[in-house]
Chain A
Amino acid sequence: MNKCLNKIGLLVFSLLLIGLLAACNGDSDPQTNGVDNGANEEQDQGPTQKIGVQIYDATDSELIAFRRYYQDYIEDNYNVEFLFSDSLDTAEAERTSTENFINQGVAAIISFSDSDRMSVIQMTEDAGVYYAIGAGTLSDEQLDMLSDNEYFVGSIGPSLAEEEEVGYDMAKHYIEQGYTNFLLYAGGYPFVDMHLMRTHGMIRALEEVGVTYNAREDGQIGTFESDEYTINTVYGFPDDSGAFFGTVAERVNEPGLEVILTAGLGVEFFGTALAQSGQDIRMGTVASFEDAYYEGFSAGQVDYLAGKFSSSIGPIFAAVYNAINGDMEVVRNNGNPFRIDQGYWIATNVDEFNEMYEMSNSTENPAYTKELLDMVIKSENPDTDYDNFESFVQSYSFDEITNLQD
């Protein structure tokens, strides 16, 4: 008898819970509608368009910053609603998220996830949903395959050449100052393309000053030879064993070390070891303008950062917005999907960093404000065209954007 009462209880509870969820939603609806209505008055447009955003890690600080920009700034200024995915760490999860977005009736997907991107692009084309790459780049071959895909908008992000250049510039910055003892962190070398390219850039800068690089046959990071320069390497990511941080601490504490160059994740992986070593060691890294680096710069741990800024994803939204408004032609590169390079902001001292940090993290006055984005959105600026858009995206540096704002 107990059993059947319990089962009834379970059933009732399930229904209640679902009802409750429905009720919660009912409460929250008027609010969001209220906001939307406000936007509608301004813009006098149809129903709110949904845009799905696929992210590889919901806890990543860079992606959290992106999300803030979209949900706290863009949603307030345009008649759109962003739906964010879970952390997509497998091709299967990426596919599930795509299916769910399509089923929820999104007009477009902006993706920061690349488990099996080509399959997702295929799915969106079949479903008639626009797809754009928010960060990252496509190979020539991939771009060729997508040339007649009407729903593939394009990609904005550092090209592989750009990544190589970032690594080169960073290494050169320190070499020119006369440093000779380096620790090089190669990240996911050779499997993570951007880490590979940045590392290659650093290697090129070192080779230019007479260092010999011996590549390894198995593709892993090789060794350096030089009379003048001392170069050690670390690569890979932490695993359950903790061995990674042991190696990091060992390398950081090697006598004479002057500079750490990382192809990514500087403060995250080297901050603790640096603080504990007590030595005067500089660090240059490719990362983003977020709190961890604010502290890194303040503490003098980091003095060179090539980083993404939160609203760097503004232009890709502008392109997608054009597409879902039916103004695809202004983002068509001779009828093909676009692929535009967008590099990093580079801070080489604490003052520069602080200025960039402030603008990057503002949701009231981000780098790409509505006024700026409207310049390349056809419904706001009927005169805009693709060339206009391309040069807009390419003017990504801090100075160029502040000039545009003025």
Chain B
Amino acid sequence: MVERFTNKFSGLKRITNYSSWFGLIALISIYYIQMGESITAYSMGIIIEQAVIVAIVATGAIFIFSFGQFDISLGAATAVAAMVSVITYNRTESIFLMLLASILVGVSIGVIESILAVLLNLPVFVLTVAMLSILSSLVRVLLGGQSSISIPSDAVAAFDNVPFKLFILICYFLLCFFIFNYTKVGRESKFLGANPIAAKQSGVSNKKITIIAFILVGIGVGLAGFLTVIRAPMLGQTTAASLGLDVLVAIVFGGMPLSGGARSKISAAVVGAFSIVLLNQVLLSFGFSSGQNQIAKAILFLFVVFVATINYRKKILPR
């Protein structure tokens, strides 16, 4: 009987699966109408500029979310990766080593976090709360009492352009997309999120998935750290501090279920990141002040989460 009903709506359901895409398209349309002729290559450029770092970290974070876990330390991890890359550049004057250092730091943080989670058998979320505070302190240590550390902006000027950043995003996205959809690990992580016990009884190793997911996120964090330095070569205590939250918001806006599972999709990260930047631009174009802007975004966020979680409060029908 349920089948008959679903059948009737399956076409509609297929369309609504892409509702976050519609949201993005709606935002693009409104932005276009609002801005009219003042949309230039510059406008498009800054949208990419502002979305790219969040999009990269969020893309990696989808892995962790897909098996129902939650990492709030990603912003701080990115800050640490960025700091280490600045220090590396100042010692070696090599962009390549700087990138390498950033990725190494990102991956190391991921490995440490995941191994601790697996060894201590702690919920990832709890662990990342502790990690957040450790990493924030580490940022302070790396600053060494100064208010900021920096590299000369000329050093990275050659990379400070939209095509390069877009290229990095696309490469990383493709890597994650590929692993998520075409490998055993990706499939297993989704299944793990959908039902951990059924996953275990199907031979899915929670530990293996956790470690691999954190390594993948680590690569993203490393790239994001590098791009953070390119975007603003001067880093301080609050660098990337809001990134952790932005990533979370982006993922939710992108249509990723917070509990992970079967409906997890990697595109949510990119759709969400661009949606937020566009939403911000649309609100600015309506002349909202920054305060009103924040409130409008927060309300929309709450609404999205509310709607997304209605599904958990299922109706109980007698059989």
Contacts and interface: CB of A to CB of B under 8 A. Distances in A.
A28 B286 CA distance: 10
A7 B19 contact: yes
A145 interface: no
B232 A119 contact: yes
Interface stretch (B43-51, B109-117, B168-176): B43-51
Contacts of A105: 38
Interface stretch (A8-16, A165-173, A387-395): A8-16
Interface stretch (A95-103, A209-217, A245-253, A279-287): A95-103
B23 interface: yes
Interface in A1-32: 1-4, 6-11, 13-15, 17-18, 21-22, 24-25, 28
A18 B303 contact: no
B284 A119 contact: no
Interface in B280-310: 280-291, 296, 299-300, 303-304, 307-308, 310
Nearest to B286: A25
Contact of B236 (A2, A24, A25, A91): A91
A84 interface: yes
Contact of B16 (A8, A58, A95, A102): A8
Contacts of A329: none
B26 interface: yes
Contacts of B290: 58, 84-86
Interface in B146-186: 146-148, 150, 153
A24 B289 CA distance: 13
B48 to A, nearest CB: 11
Given A10-B307, A91-B232, A18 B26 contact: yes
B24 to A, nearest CB: 10
Contacts of B5: 1
B311 interface: yes
Interface stretch (B58-66, B87-95, B238-246): B238-246
Interface string A135-157: 00000000000000000000000
Nearest to A219: B145
A11 B311 contact: no
Contacts of B296: 17, 21
A92 B231 contact: yes
A65 B235 CA distance: 29
Interface in B1-22: 5-6, 9, 12-13, 16-17, 19, 22
A89 interface: yes
B319 interface: no
B22 A99 contact: no
A90 B232 contact: yes
B26 A15 contact: yes
Contacts, number: 131
B102 to A, nearest CB: 15
Given A4-B12, A14-B300, A86-B290, A100 B150 contact: no
B26 A14 contact: yes
A164 interface: no
B30 interface: yes
A90 B237 CA distance: 8
A17 B303 CA distance: 11
Nearest to B315: A2
Contacts of A118: 153
B214 to A, nearest CB: 25
A99 B46 contact: yes
B310 A6 contact: yes
Nearest to A20: B296
Contacts of B148: 91, 115
Interface in B180-223: none
Rank and list the top 4 A-B pairs by shortest CB-CB distance, nearest first: A91-B232, A7-B16, A99-B46, A91-B234
Given A91-B239, A100-B280, 18 more contacts: A1-B6, A4-B9, A6-B311, A7-B16, A10-B19, A17-B299, A17-B303, A18-B26, A21-B288, A21-B296, A90-B236, A92-B228, A92-B232, A92-B239, A95-B231, A103-B42, A122-B153, A127-B42
Interface of A: 1-4, 6-11, 13-15, 17-18, 21-22, 24-25, 28, 58, 84-86, 89-92, 94-96, 99-100, 102-105, 115-116, 118-119, 122, 127, 188, 191-192
15 contacts: A2-B314, A3-B311, A4-B12, A7-B19, A9-B307, A13-B303, A13-B307, A22-B30, A25-B287, A90-B235, A90-B238, A96-B50, A103-B46, A104-B284, A116-B153
